[in-house]
Structure 1
Amino acid sequence: HMEYAGLPGEGLCLEDGVKIAKHLAGKGVDALDVSAGIYETMNTAWEPVGFDQGWKMNGAEAVKKAVRIPVIAASVIREPGYAEEVLKEGKCDFIGSARAFFADPDWMRKAREGKEKEIRKCISCLYCMETLMAADMSGTPMGCAINFQGCREDKYSDEMLKKDGEKRVVAVIGAGPAGMEAARILAMRGFSPVVFEKQGEVGGQIALASKPPKKEKTGWLIDYQKYQMEKLGVEVRLNKAPTLEELKALHPYAVFVSHGSNPIMPKSIRGIGGANVYTPVEILNGTVTLENKNVAVVGSGMTGIETAELLGDRGNKVTVFEMADDIGPGIFFQNLIDVMGRVSTHGTKLYPKHRLVEIDGTTAAFENTETKEQERFNFDAIVVSLGTSSNTELKEELDKEFERVVYLGDAKQAGRIENAVRTGYLAAAQLN
């Protein structure tokens, strides 16, 4: 994949890198840290989720063959098993990473002790880069989406958690990233969390987010959280949406509500309840399988684009419509470049500035936001991806019945992984 690092025939090539390495070794340098990519080739320097572990190892390998000093290699290395393999093959002498240790500062200790399952592996979501770049302008410090303590170690650490739970029961409704993070921290504080999950598996939206192509790493967060539940002995009741009676029977000290969000399907759009209209959830969880069809995806947020990519991979002819002036509004540019690079290989058509007005069977009518004219298109299927809104089920009853009811993640406000983990952590850490 080395050709991805930069432009063919432009700038420094691998041969140049090897020459420079030899020169430096001759000048008495102690070790060489080999990577690739600069600000202009952003995604090859700090990679989004679409890059595989070890994709640029051949750079380090070529340098190692040419010099006699230790070579350090960085290449999205996340798993101790993989790191060990690369070292055994003699491709480099040391493994380098930055994000791996931001997501889990104990990565090395856990690897050494053979506790690989306990590692909170970086999912390459680039929240760190996004916040780092915004930090100058926004006052929001840099952070890690899956490790709330990252960059906040002075205020939040495992040692600082009050250990005053005294086995008091806390009901947690929903085992997505917010609910499981809350349960983890509650258990560490000595509470007895009981987690209810209406699906047959934990993970919530993340279980769906890991389904599009090249998104498997996102599922690592669920693996980590699931293992934490087992290790801490947290009771998780699957296939169980609790009734008010079941919750009352627990006599909970508090109820944490983390039952997520639902796709927005605006009733104002005529025909949106039609037989050929689907939500991204139905496509991603496999309830609906579309193959070799002509499909529209309405809405180009991350979910919309990733759903379009999945559909394209299955041989569908895909057209993406977006009301905003540009495709992918609000998506961090590195992630947008990454996913759009793959979407474009399917010949996906893109229509920004198009607002869905109505659906009539297999015909979708859009208003061009510039010309205000209506345009009609025919499709076999229409996938509506216009965001999500908090699930408000049981809200009134819960607020009335229990003294301490806390909303987390999407149930509080529809957001991203960072929002889920942060609200889960804080709700559990601050419960008094």
Structure 2
Amino acid sequence: MAYEKLFTPGRIGPLTIRNRAVMSPMGTDFADTNGNASPRLIAYYAERAKGGIGLIINEYTGVDDVDSIPTQHNLRMAQDYNVKAAEELTETVHMYGAKIFAQLHHGGATSKSAFTGRQNLSPSGVPMTPAGEVPREMTLEDIKRVQDKFIAAAVRCKKAGYDGVELHAAHGYLMTQFLSEYYNRRTDQYGGSLENRCRFIDEVIAGIRAKLGNYPISVRICGDEMTDHPGFWNLEGGLAIAKHLEAQGIDCINISNGSSWNGNANCEPFSYTPGWKKHVAKAFKEALSIPVIATNTIKDPDFAEQLLEEGVSDFVALGRSQFADPEFVNKAKAGHPEKIRNCIACMYCRERLLGNAMPVQCALNPRLGREYRYRWQDLQKNGEGRPVVVVGGGPGGLECSIILAKRGFAVTLLEKGETLGGTLNIAKLPPFKANIQGTIDVLALEAREAGVDIRLNTEATPERVAAMNPVGVFLAVGAPPVVPKSIPGIEKAVLAEDVILGKVRCAGDVALIGTGLTGLECAEMVLDQGHQLTMVEMNATVGQGIYNVVFNDIMSRITPHSPTILTSHQLTAVTDSGAEVKDLSTGETKTVAAGTVVLALGTRNQAPLAAEFETAGLSTVLVGSAETPGRIAGAIRGGFEKAWVFEAE
């Protein structure tokens, strides 16, 4: 595909953008504690600019460091001292031909009083959720003060070299709260009618225009809040707001969806189909004359081109796809979309940022946020053709092989199976996860292009590997499942991974022991096959440790089947008639009748195997889940890091 539409320049106000690809604003927590653009953050955006994106709208940028501190490391333009580092950011982005807007933000009721030491502000004192912090209703003086902060931040942005600003009026933040009939219950000139609810943002727009003239202004709103509760707006309400804002002279509108109650409509887990909400963006495109930017779960350039051809939007917003592969746009332009590491919507990025209040990371891109530390020009190319062996063709082994080959080592990858992918060949089989095959394909392609000698159907014994005289051996063999031999009758049970792979067909009722991610995915498949299911979990809750967005998504499909769930229960025996379990709260033992008992008890590392290779005189490194059992993120990151720092003895 030539991607003619994608690579046609576009205009936003007086600004020409080199293509129709816009990087969505996404939080990172890479700024310093004063809200300045850190070297880490600058390197992160530079990588995306260099990767060919047309316009970067950087992450939410605070205008107020007194009443709005959502995190301790959010980017800000609240003070004059923020300008210096911001200028370095914009100059770096411009060096690579991209444009950049700052997304100006005030959290309002979503701020964290623990950070500010003050009660949060809001239009009407309505908490974000019924159980949330109760904010303080803003006085007219408060309103004027915060509006002035937006305007002052915009002035700083222009001084710092930003090409424009975006006002964040989506996702439940302060400007949204004013627009909302649910959050805004004022009876003065800032509440009630649509015109009054828009007055706060209208006056900010007018203030920026008065100070900066024909300076590009974008507004981000949720086209449809998709929240079934009185006071949240639907598509009709979103269009009314957009038409009003267009009349105020803004230069473009950026359409997201959802609300503070429905984040999945904004940042979807893997079960959502790309383009499921494109009707929203298209309605705005048809109703407005200003350019429309829109997100649409875009994971590949073919779909981006399709959206532009269909007239869904004027610019396509690339979000997590820019996390997964900063070279997304360049690879598309070069005619090599197959080389893109496409986002798999695993939610690891959001889990890090929102679930754990940690800087964002990506499961597929171990350099995300660490571009300043792992610079390609610093990669030591000192392999000098010396042989190394990587055992295991899963994500960790493939990533490890790629980096070692780039360093100049002669890499041989031994895979005992007939295909590459390792446990990804299991992970791709549950419902809605077929896109993981793309990760296997692109890693395999990268390995082959790097010159890795891939040998399938080859068992890696210490003797066979030793005969290859490697200067290093990397065991990326994954983590075997835990099967407690001390439990009577355990040999009668089957493994969840074998059920998922179709190696084992369940018979009759099923008892599933363990409800981690693999367990829940197995449960979903078993229920879809029509079996009655009892889920047994030793912990007090099901799915412990799974990010709540992913957990809720999977459980939304499991719960309608009404499985029996036994928490705080431990497997004590497997019998011909089912499973014996112990109630940890009472000590009572009970029998779960089942024709099939399925184990999903987690995994263990491969330290004993490493010892065997070391005994054979081989310098051995454990990689990924073989060292620390985990998920694809840990496997790829481990493979990358171990290969980057490896020093041959």
**Fold conserved (TM > 0.5)?**
yes
Partner of 1:21: 242
Asked whether 1:156 is paired with 2:377, we answer no
CA contact (8 A) 1:172 1:195 kept: yes
Quote how far apart the aligned CAs of 1:135 are.
5.6
1:393 Cα offset (Å):
5.9
Paired with 2:535 and 2:224, the residues of 1 have a C-alpha distance of: 29
Give the conservation status (yes or no) of the 8 Å contact 2:517–2:546: yes
Is the Cα–Cα contact under 8 Å of residues 225 and 259 in structure 2 kept in the other structure?
no
Match 2:457 to one of 236, 239, 245: 239
Kindly provide the CA deviation profile for residues 99-131 of structure 1, in whole angstroms up to 9, marking residues without a partner as x: 110111111111111111111111111111111
Give 1:243 deviation, angstroms.
Answer: 2.4
Aligned 8 A contact 1:263 1:389 in 2: yes
For 1:391 and 1:261, the matched residues in 2 are separated by 7
Q: Cα offset for 1:217?
A: 2.5
Secondary structure at 1:39 match in 2: coil
User: Structure 2: where are the runs of 5+ without partners?
Assistant: 1-222
Percent identical among aligned pairs is 36
TM superposition shift of 1:187: 1.0
Alignment partner of 2:362 out of 144, 162, 168: 144
Which of these two proteins has the greater Rg computed from alpha carbons? 2
**SS of 1:166 mapped into structure 2:** coil
- Deviations 1:193-232, CA, capped at 9 Å, x for gaps: 1001111111111110111001122332212101112222
Deviation track 1:57-80 (CA, whole Å, cap 9, x = no partner) reads: 111011111111111111211011
User: Residue type matched to 1:172 in 2?
Assistant: V
User: Equivalents in 2 of 1:181, 1:365: separation in Å?
Assistant: 42
CA contact (8 A) 2:511 2:592 kept: no
Given that 2:383 and 2:409 are in contact with CA atoms closer than 8 Å, whether structure 1 keeps it comes out as yes
Is contact 2:291-2:314 (8 Å) kept?
yes
Does residue 69 (structure 1) correspond to residue 290 (structure 2)? The answer is: yes
Contact 1:170 1:255 (C-alpha < 8 Å) held by counterparts: yes
Alignment correspondent of 2:437: 219
Q: 1:220 to 1:286 in 2, by over 3 A?
A: same
Partner of 1:183: 401
Given residue 465 of structure 2, which amino acid in structure 1 is its aligned partner? L
**Equivalent position to 1:286, from 485, 498, 502:** 502
**Quick check: 2:574–2:580 contact (8 Å CA) kept in 1?**
yes
Q: Structure 1 residues 59, 339: closer, same or farther in 2, change over 3 A?
A: same
Matches of 2:380 and 2:424 in 1, distance apart?
A: 29
The equivalent residue for 1:342 is: 557
- In the aligned structure 2, how far is the partner of 1:216 from the partner of 1:16? 36
Partners in 1 of 2:567 and 2:362 — Cα distance?
A: 31
| Residue 602 of structure 2, aligned match among 350, 372, 387 | 387
TM-score of the aligned structures, taking structure 1 as reference length: 0.94
Distance (Å, rounded) in 2 between the aligned partners of 1:99 and 1:34:
16
Tell me, what secondary structure is at the counterpart of 1:262?
coil
Name structure 1 gaps, 5 residues minimum. none
Higher relative contact order (CA 8 A, sep 6+): 1
Aligned length: 425
Q: Does 1:250 align with 2:250?
A: no
What's the counterpart of residue 308 of structure 1? 523
In structure 2, do the counterparts of structure 1 residues 89 and 416 end up closer, same or farther at CA, with 3 Å as the change threshold?
Answer: same
Q: Which residue of 1 aligns with 2:446?
A: 228
Q: What CA distance in whole angstroms lies between the structure 2 residues aligned with 1:247 and 1:427?
A: 19
1:194 aligns with 2:381: no
> CA RMSD for the aligned pairs?
1.8
Using the alignment, how far apart are the partners of 1:414 and 1:396 within structure 2?
A: 17
What amino acid is aligned across from residue 130 of structure 1 in structure 2? E
Mapping of residues 89-128 of structure 1, within 5 Å: 89-128=310-349
C-alpha deviation, 1:418, in angstroms: 1.5
**Secondary structure of the corresponding residue to residue 491 of structure 2:** coil
Where does structure 1 differ by over 4 angstroms across 4 or more consecutive aligned residues?
none
> Which residue number in structure 2 is paired with residue 325 of structure 1?
540
Secondary structure of the residue aligned to 1:383 is strand
Amino acid at match of 1:153: E
Match of 1:398 in 2: 613
Task: Name the SS of the counterpart of 1:96 in structure 2.
Answer: strand
Work out the CA distance in 1 between the residues paired with 2:504 and 2:346. Answer: 27
- Residue number in structure 2 paired with 1:411: 626
CA contact (8 A) 2:466 2:618 kept: no
Match among 568, 581, 585 for residue 366 of structure 1 = 581
User: What TM-score do you get using the length of structure 2 for normalisation?
Assistant: 0.63
